Amino acid sequence: MTDNWGDYFVVKAKENGVNVIGLTRGKDTRFHHSEKLDKGEVMMVQFTEHTSAVKIRGKAEIMTPFGTMNTED
């Protein structure tokens, strides 16, 4: 197993109350962490041993190795 779980990506909140939700790796996929960002706040996130997916709720810009995208306004 690698200790490099992948590239970071960046979430920039475009409104108050954007949620960055981490989902667990393994047999069950469930929420394990929810981080609330206010407008202009930036969070750097990475996939880890514990986190296999991330869900972003609210208006945000997401910068990833695949490109930059926005959630629907």
> Which residues of the shown chain bind ligand TRP in the complex (CB under 6 A)?
20, 22, 33, 35, 45-46, 48, 50-51, 54
Which C-beta is closer to ligand TRP: that of 29 or that of 46?
Answer: 46
Minimum CB–partner distance for residue 11 and ligand TRP (Å): 9
Residue 56: CB atoms within 10 A of its CB come to 19
Q: What burial class does residue 69 get, using C-beta atoms within 10 Å of its C-beta: 0-12 exposed, 13-18 middle, 19+ buried?
A: exposed
Which string of DSSP letters, residue by residue, matches 11-36? Answer: EEESSTTEEEEEEE-SSS--EEEEEE
Minimum CB–partner distance for residue 44 and ligand TRP (Å): 9
Minimum CB–partner distance for residue 21 and ligand TRP (Å): 7
Q: Which residue is nearest to ligand TRP (CB)?
A: 22
